[in-house]
Amino acid sequence: MRWTRAVVSAATLSILLTGCGAGPSDRPGVAVERPVAAGGVKPETNAPAPPPQAEPPKTDLAWRDCTAPTLDGLGLGPAPAGLVLECAEFSTPIDSGGAVLGTFRAGAMRARLPQTPLDVAPLVLTSGVDRPSTATLAGLAIGQGSAMLTARPIVAVDRRGLGASQPIDCLPPEVRRALADNAQFGTGAAQSDRDPAVAMTSLSQNATIACRDFLQPYEGAFDAPHAADDIEQLRKQWQVDHLMLLGSGNGAKVALSYARRYGDHLTRLVLDSPVPVNTDTVTRTEQRVKGAEAALSAFAQHCTGLGCALGVDPRAAVTDLVGRASSGGLGDISASALTTALASYLGDPRADQPDRTAELADALAAAIKGDRPRLVALMRRQAEATGTDGQFVNGCTDTQQQPTPNQAKDLGETWGGKYPVFGRTAALGMLGCVAWPTADVPPLPDKLDLPVLILGAAADPVVGTGGQASVSGALGAAGARHATVTWQGFGHPAFSHSGCAQTAILEYLKEAKLPADGTVCPA
């Protein structure tokens, strides 16, 4: 059932630029000597006994093959030989505490190969609100993720309103489009048209009223803790005592909420490119912008090495194109929609980097010459993955400590100089959630007797690189042993691009053994 109005009333960069090869790197990790941070680990020569293994499901979901429609819908092409994607749904309480009665339909997808054992515990994946978890899993599955899938199935659980879960359709079309465009083309109010910050504030108010009215009395049930409750419901459906959980990007926030609420049922925890914790919106946004600028620079160098369609200086060509969009030179393509699609594409979980680089370069080069259809199609595909009403609701619900309109306007000027491609639009875009009521910050685990593996990329256009340090600190405060592994490439999440990162995950899942803290995976 679809939820509709009718139903519910720098140095690092130089390292990564040298190693952009075809597909994910399978070169082994390199242990880097460095002081052990608070809560960090040395190689585990005398490590404590590992936590218990997770169990295979006793009562599984009613899986059905969905390989072709999933890959076709995501524009991923035909399935690699032997890949099987299976979809299923399960019911989950809207509020596990009973404050709101009723159930919600959660969507899940399982990826496996013919040789994948089904009598072992699956790895549960959540990418939170960044893009549907099922799309993240599909991106891994069509790449060189066979080592992970050979060892055990992976089950992705979509967050509420995203992907295969019960959709949300709450934004009026004109408001949805204007928010995506940062009100560049006006909203019909003269004052708003002169001041984009005022226009975005007004749009946020309209969007908030529309979605909260539409969702009531469920409007408070879309935060990370509720997403963790859905994963707990899956555990109960499976009738098992323990889960293995991988949270990437915003999904790390969901995974940490699960660890806080249901830590006794968690036996492995991997956090890949985690969103920063205990930080305000401005700090998180600037970290993401830095990551996007670094990823664009890496793309540009890779593009040059391939002799791509953007010529001798791809970065300058992209910067000029964004400038043209800002001044209305690309017709109805706004600067905000263009930069959002760029960051999303650079952070796509697909690992076919040469093909992706050529596809993006060809679309941008054609648009520079006035031929826009390829770019428009690329932008539409990315918007469908990252710009749905469900992402608006979940993203705003997860947002704390938002900037004022004047602060966002001032930051637009500052960031426009520091971060010439992504800075200005990102600053103004923070106002999309400014009218949404600020929720309490979900508490982090206060005690976690579990080794945790933390991954990241040197240039991450989805969350930036600040998350590893903040999450490491929070885990250290909770008493959890942990280790970090950094892939020296660009993209998101790290595990879908790096065979080295996948090897670290597999070894950890097997015996809960952590690698040396500070391990580096070459690009």
For 495, which DSSP code? G
Pair (231, 191) in one structural domain: no
Pair (414, 450) in one structural domain: no
Strand pairing report for 452-459 and 266-272: parallel
Q: Which of 491, 496, 395, 508 is nearest to 51 (CA)?
A: 508
Pair (319, 238) in one structural domain: no
Residue 13 has what pLDDT? 38
Query: Residue 245 CB: number of other CB atoms within 10 A?
Result: 29
Pair (501, 474) in one structural domain: yes
Pair (129, 204) in one structural domain: no
Pair (299, 183) in one structural domain: yes
How far is CA 48 from its chain centroid? 32
In which band, very low, low, confident or very high, does the pLDDT at 26 lie, cut at 50, 70 and 90?
low
Pair (517, 421) in one structural domain: no
At 191-227, the pLDDT tens digits run 445 799 999 999 999 999 999 999 999 999 999 999 9
Please indicate, yes or no, if residue 245 is contained in any of the structural domains.
yes
At 271-308, the pLDDT tens digits run 999 999 988 999 999 999 999 999 999 999 999 999 99
Distances (CA, A) of 443 to 209, 295, 424: 27, 31, 32
Pair (194, 256) in one structural domain: no
Which residue, 395, 430, 465, sits at the end of a domain?
430
- Helix, strand, coil % over all residues of the chain, rounded to 5: 45, 15, 40
Pair (292, 400) in one structural domain: yes
| The two structure tokens encoding residue 45 | 């020569």
Quote the number of domains for the chain: 2
* Longest distance between any two alpha carbons in the chain, whole Å: 69
Please indicate, yes or no, if residue 47 is contained in any of the structural domains.
no
Pair (195, 246) in one structural domain: no
At 367-414, the pLDDT tens digits run 999 999 999 999 999 999 999 999 999 999 998 889 999 999 999 999
**25 against 82, higher pLDDT:** 82
Please indicate, yes or no, if residue 12 is contained in any of the structural domains.
no
User: What is the extent of the structural domain holding 246?
Assistant: 64-160+221-278+441-521
Please indicate, yes or no, if residue 435 is contained in any of the structural domains.
no
Please indicate, yes or no, if residue 52 is contained in any of the structural domains.
no
Pair (471, 415) in one structural domain: no
Q: For residues 57 and 236, what is the distance between their CA atoms, to the nearest angstrom? A: 10
Please indicate, yes or no, if residue 9 is contained in any of the structural domains.
no
Residue type, 357: T
Its pTM stands at: 0.90
Distances (CA, A) of 185 to 146, 192, 195, 222: 46, 10, 11, 30
End-to-end CA distance of the chain: 43
At 411-448, the pLDDT tens digits run 999 999 999 999 999 999 999 999 999 878 889 999 99
Residue 105 has what pLDDT? 96
Three-class DSSP labels, 272-295? ECCCCCCCCHHHHHHHHHHHHHHH
* Mean pLDDT rounded to a whole number for the chain: 90
Residue 183 confidence (pLDDT) above 60: yes
In which band, very low, low, confident or very high, does the pLDDT at 336 lie, cut at 50, 70 and 90?
very high
Residue 17 confidence (pLDDT) above 70: no
Q: For residues 158 and 106, what is the distance between their CA atoms, to the nearest angstrom? A: 7
- Measured in degrees and rounded to the nearest 5, phi and psi for residue 231 equal -65, -35
For 34, which DSSP code? -
At 125-163, the pLDDT tens digits run 999 999 999 999 999 999 877 889 999 999 999 999 999
Residue 29 has what pLDDT? 56
Sign of CA dihedral 416, 422, 423, 426: positive
Q: For residues 38 and 41, what is the distance between their CA atoms, to the nearest angstrom? A: 9
Percent of the chain with pLDDT over 70: 89
Pair (288, 411) in one structural domain: yes
Residue 38 has what pLDDT? 37
In which band, very low, low, confident or very high, does the pLDDT at 100 lie, cut at 50, 70 and 90?
confident
Which residue, 397, 430, 463, sits at the end of a domain?
430
115-131: burial string, b at 16+ Cβ within 10 Å, e else: ebeeebbbbbbbbbbbb
Which residue, 399, 430, 461, sits at the end of a domain?
430
Please indicate, yes or no, if residue 57 is contained in any of the structural domains.
no
Q: For residues 233 and 137, what is the distance between their CA atoms, to the nearest angstrom? A: 20
CATH of residue 84's domain is 3.40.50.1820
SS3 call for 376: helix
In which band, very low, low, confident or very high, does the pLDDT at 476 lie, cut at 50, 70 and 90?
very high
Q: Are 426 and 289 in contact (CB under 8 A)?
A: yes
Residue 143 has what pLDDT? 85
Please indicate, yes or no, if residue 39 is contained in any of the structural domains.
no
